Structure 1
Amino acid sequence: MLRIAGIFDGISLLVLLGIAMPLKYIWGIDKAVTVVGSLHGGIFMLYALAIIYAGLRVKWNILWSVAALVAAFVPFANFVLDGKLKKAQAKYDVRPFNYSLLVYGIVFFSFFDLFSQLPVMSTFATSVGATPFIAGFVIGLYSLANTLGNVLSGIKTDKVGPFKMLMAGLILSSVALLLYQFVDRPAALIAVRIIHGFVAGLIVPAAFTFSANTTVKDQQGKKVAFTGTFVGLAAIIGPAFSGITASKTSVPFVFTCVAAIGLLLALLSAVFLRKYNMAKKEKDVAAAQASGSFFNAGVAKAYGGAFFLMFSQGAIAYLLPLHVQTLGHDSKLSGTLMSAFGIIAVLIFVLPTNRIFDRVAPSGTMAAGIGLMGLSQLLISQSTTVWALYIVLGLYGVGFAFLFPSINTMLIRATPAKLRGKAYGYFYAFFSLGVVAGSSVLGWLPFPIAGGFLFTGSILLLYAAIVAFDKQSDYALNH
């Protein structure tokens, strides 16, 4: 795969440098570079994926991957490298494929799809004739439709297995993303948003169920934290990618790029995840439902944590740009502040600090996380300097990093494997509802900006106290 992709990359580079560029700069045919450059860019992306995939599978020195990457920028180097690879091909063993990497990729795609919409959707809506009300409506409409998709995915995952729901979600989401190419008026945008939100909701419950049901019990917290790394990366990369790409091309092109990633993941899933499908027999699901073990205090607290996590996110997304603006700064500061909290969260997810989620009861880390998020909301309202805002958003990132794995671990431990799909379906439905509530409720209430932060922080601290002093869910998790 690496050799084939390298040959195509080498050929496209030579065509770009030897044919397209002379056509542009000597004969003035600008489209030559535009067309060939786009083709070369697409081939390079496939080549980069082949480098990563070979690096994961082949038991060789990392210098091979470095050499392959460098060769992409040097004319004829790909062909020289191909000769070396051909001779070395039989010398190295291949590692078994780690399906978890693909599941992490699917989680990243789902949240990348979500976060890439944030900087561009409102402007895209107005560009097709939507009023400010409709522009805001289509943003919330996605989350509402997503809620229905989450619930359906959870129910179906237990019956047909997570693999089929993942495939359905990836393919249908990719098709829905391509539909933005045909949006030319507000009514069409509303229809596409409903379709996109619903089918995108099929992915996450199935992906997390797949991961949870294939994880060793004493490593659940660590694995969920590592999964959170990919959520954090999506939150950091998604807005930047869509904002930059849309400014140079168009919003539909951004969604086409995201759709291409989804289709690639669907293809890889069809090849590597099929044998791991874990469908539950109807009688097993019915028996688990009849046991009455699905809803308990642990599940209720996990759902509450999911709702308030995204309620807080909605409040941050709505209030922080306004607060930054009143301090005399532009939207760039809002973006970097949100990226800062994401980076802090990712570091806690990926560093040895993730071991805490298997060593401390999830109620403890959950209460600490939501408490830190609540405290940071209170402090944001009082922060008037750039450095103070960065410190407070860093504190918010620590709280987010503690809360996300905790509520996932709590849900896993409080639900039987046969009903975990349904449990995750409702779980992410609460996520979606939290986003809607966080931004819309604060928009309806007659609070000033500082008052909105104080209101949100107080609610989070109250819920943190409830979690800290309620021992019923701890009993449910231990029994």
Structure 2
Amino acid sequence: MRAHPINILRMTGLLDGISLLVLLSIAMPLKYIWGIEKAVTIVGSIHGGIFSCYALAILYAAIRVRWSILWPAAAVIAAFVPFGNFLLDWQLKKALAKYKVRPFNYALLVYSIVFFSFFDLFSQLPVMSTFAASVGASSFVVGFVIGLYSLANTAGNILSGIMTDKVGPFKILMVGLLLSSGALLLYQLVDQPLVLIFVRILHGFVAGLIVPAAFTFSANTTMNDQQGKKVAFTGTFVGLAAIIGPAFSGIMASKTSVPFVFTCVALLGFSLSVLSAVFLRSYTISRKEKNTAVPASRASLFNAGVLKAYGGAFFLMFSQGVIAYLLPLHVQTLGYDSKLSGTLMSTFGIIAVLIFVLPTNRIFDLVASSHTMAIGMGLMGVSQLLISQSTTTLALYLVLGLYGVGFAFLFPSINTMLIKAVPAELRGKAYGYFYAFFSLGVVAGSSTLGWLHFDITEGFIFTSIVLLIFAAFVTFNRERNQAPMS
């Protein structure tokens, strides 16, 4: 039987209260009266670790217990008042039988895992090139190291998909979380380019195990008439990772170091591993989900719906690769500060997140995926064209906002299309290939324009034409005779 959240809060609260008293009554006098500075360093570190556990216990109780927000607030205040934790414990003991425990929200944990996976990816963007250069990598090796992660990620995606169908998403999620977190710690050992290349290959491969398993777990535990809204909400956490990740790593790396940034991300991964081991282990596919499986006549991994979803994934990330490659150059050419590129990318991410989380996400269950997919791809194509013609900051912000709307329409559409096109027993493999196309799209987007020797304007126009052609293809080649989903 699992421990009651209030009991967990009481236990960590008492430890926090004891460590605070030791810090104030023993360690601090040792430092300021007798000059033993290590006393505060050691006890302070122990108290900080205990307080972190206590903060997590407060958060856990706030999520699981049906009580007022005043309880978590009181718990936070008690941590800073001597003997406060002991008074709170007295009240919590009386409240134990009064407040019921909410069922654990498994979806929230899966969303957090998706956030971690993309947070890991996006936190690398501002710091990896400079880190590679700092360990002696040449300009060629710097570019090679950055692309190497996506290529290794592709192999991990495919293996994850295959193994997810064989052993289930839970085991692959656990393996991916643990190995990815461990790989992030290896950056502490990087002191030369060859070691960095090895770590990037390993990190990219094991990180690729997570996302297909997470999306398969989510899809297999959701009714089909709610898949679009669920995927849109999942996209919120992808968008948040895209907004928070680069800012976090950029700020932290400037104050500490790049390996320390990755260590912080690793700690998040290990924490999610523990939570997953406790709460996702016994979670199984519901009977209702099983009854919504795709009919046997359509049980193909490469039917029209799947191929369109793969194409959408590839061209979505192809477009992202182009934006990442050309937008900073375009902004620089116009004479603006390089920081504008970051705020422009944040703008499109914020717009996408708003569409994902607001009631607008209902459209993905009310309108056919092929329609919203074509609209999203078309808006992204038009945005690429307009970026090339935009010369003012206002115009750039408006166009990137439009690009965010297109992204928000496209991402849930291709996911929903994939879910409804394959049976539950093939979703792992389908998602494995799906995210392999994601990884390849990023590499193709930036490298293709380099090979074709386009200038900035020509690169945006070329990308616009490619996206609009694919949008037209989706519009005029919708799958006929779609079987109704029960």
Normalised TM-score (structure 1): 0.91
SS state at 1:384 partner:
coil
Structure 1, residues 134-164: CA drift from partner, whole Å, max 9, x if none? Answer: 1111111000000000001101111111111
- Aligned partner of 1:462: which letter? I
> Which amino acid is the alignment partner of residue 314 of structure 1?
G
1:442 Cα deviation from its structure 2 partner:
2.0
What does residue 379 of structure 1 align with? 386
Question: Is 1:103 the equivalent of 2:110?
Answer: yes
The one-letter amino acid of 2:112's match is G
**Post-superposition offset of 1:365:** 0.7
CA distance in 1, matches of 2:278, 2:476: 47
Whole-angstrom distance in 2 between the partners of 1:143 and 1:198: 9
Q: TM-score, normalised by structure 2?
A: 0.90
Equivalent-residue separation in structure 2 for 1:22 and 1:140 (angstroms)? 54
Give the alignment of 1:393-408 within 5 angstroms: 393-408=400-415
User: Would the aligned equivalents of 1:383 and 1:389 in 2 still touch at CA under 8 Å?
Assistant: yes
Structure 2 residue corresponding to 1:330, chosen from 323, 337, 342:
337
Give the corresponding residue for 1:268. Answer: 275
Pick one of 110, 115, 118 that aligns with 2:122. Answer: 115
Amino acid at match of 1:216: M
Distance 1:376 1:24 in 2: 61
Question: Would you say the 8 A contact 1:225–1:349 is kept in 2?
Answer: yes
1:475 and 2:481 matched: yes
TM superposition shift of 1:82: 2.9
Match of 2:288 in 1: none
Q: Which amino acid aligns with 1:315?
A: V
Residue equivalent to 2:232: 225
Report SS of the residue matched to 2:191.
Answer: coil
1:240 is aligned to 247
Q: Which moved more, 1:242-251 or 1:46-55?
A: 46-55
Deviations 1:200-232 (A, max 9, x none): 111111111111011111101011111111111
Determine the C-alpha separation between the residues in 2 that align with 1:191 and 1:354. 41
1:54 aligns with 2:35: no
Structure 2 match to 1:343: 350
Q: Does 1:83 align with 2:90?
A: yes
Assess, with a 3 A threshold, how the Cα gap between structure 1 residues 8 and 234 changes in structure 2: closer, same or farther.
Answer: farther
- In 1, distance between residues paired with 2:120 and 2:77? 30
Q: Partners of 1:329 and 1:76 in 2: how far apart?
A: 55
Letter in 2 for 1:105: S
- Output one character per residue of 1:78-107: Cα deviation in whole Å (capped at 9) or x when no partner: 443333222222210001112111111111
Taking a change above 3 Å as real, the CA distance of residues 351 and 290 of structure 1, as seen in their structure-2 partners, is closer
Query: After superposition, what is the alpha-carbon deviation per residue over 1:154-188, rounded to whole angstroms, capped at 9, x for unaligned?
Result: 01111111111111111111111111111110000
- What's the secondary structure of 2:120's corresponding residue? helix
Percent identity reads 78
Classify 1:31/1:196 alpha carbon distance in 2 versus 1 (closer, same or farther; 3 Å).
farther
Are 2:64 and 2:103, in contact at CA under 8 Å, matched by a contact in 1? Answer: yes
Structure 1: tracts of 5 or more residues without a match: 279-287
- Cα separation, partners in 2 of 1:153 and 1:2, compared to 1, 3 Å: same
**Would you say 1:361 and 2:368 are equivalent positions?**
yes
Paired residue secondary structure (2:97): helix
Instruction: Measure, in 2, the Cα distance between the counterparts of 1:370 and 1:146.
Output: 24
Quickly say closer, same or farther: Cα 1:4–1:318, change in 2 above 3 A. farther
What letter corresponds to residue 62 of structure 1 in structure 2? I
Is the CA contact (8 Å cut-off) linking 2:152 and 2:205 kept in structure 1? yes
Change beyond 3 A, Cα 1:290–1:384 = same
Q: How does 1:59-74 map to 2 (within 5 A)?
A: 59-74=66-81
Match of 2:292 in 1: none
The 3 A distance-change label for structure 1 pair 107 and 163 is same
Q: Is the CA contact 2:299–2:422 (under 8 Å) kept in the aligned structure 1? A: no
CA offset at residue 35 of structure 1?
6.4
Query: Aligned partners of 2:338 and 2:41: how far apart in 1?
Result: 31
Partner of 1:216: 223
* d(CA) in 2 for partners of 1:25, 1:477: 77
- Does the C-alpha gap of structure 1 residues 327 and 20 become closer, same or farther in structure 2, counting only changes over 3 Å? farther
Rounded Cα–Cα distance in structure 2 between residues aligned with 1:113 and 1:478: 38
AA at the equivalent of 2:386:
L
Is the alpha carbon distance of 1:375 and 1:66 closer, same or farther for their aligned partners in structure 2, counting shifts above 3 Å?
farther
Residue 414 (structure 1) aligned with residue 421 (structure 2): yes
Contact 1:307 1:430 in 2 (8 A): yes
Q: Give 1:371 deviation, angstroms.
A: 1.1
Spell out the pairing of 1:452-467 with structure 2 (5 A cutoff): 452-467=459-474
Tell me the residue number matched to 1:135.
142
Is contact 1:7-1:78 (8 Å) kept? Answer: yes
Residue in structure 2 matching 1:206, options 209, 213, 216: 213
Q: Indicate if the aligned counterparts of 2:379 and 2:402 stay in contact, CA closer than 8 A.
A: yes
Pairs within 5 Å for 1:138-157: 138-157=145-164
Q: In the TM superposition, what is the alpha-carbon distance from 1:51 to its structure 2 partner?
A: 2.2
Q: Is the 8 A contact 2:114 2:237 kept in 1?
A: yes
Aligned mate of 2:307, from 300, 311, 329: 300
Quick one: distance in 1 between partners of 2:255 and 2:25?
A: 25
SS of structure 2 residue aligned to 1:364: helix
Distance 2:122 2:23 in 1: 33
- Deviations 1:317-363 (CA, angstroms, capped at 9, x unpaired): 11111122222333322222212211111111111111110000001
Distance 1:207 1:151 in 2: 14
Q: How many residues align?
A: 471
Q: 1:88 to 1:365 in 2, by over 3 A?
A: same
In the TM superposition, residue 73 of structure 1 has moved relative to its aligned partner by 4.7
CA distance in 2, matches of 1:32, 1:105: 37
2-structure distance, mates of 1:442, 1:60:
56
The aligned residue for residue 167 of structure 2 is: 160
Residues in 1 aligned to 2:199 and 2:120: alpha-carbon distance in whole angstroms? 14
Structure 2 residue matching 1:475: 3-state secondary structure:
coil
Which amino acid in 2 is paired with 1:89?
L
CA distance in 2 between partners of 1:193 and 1:137 (Å): 10
Deviation for aligned residue 1:77: 3.7
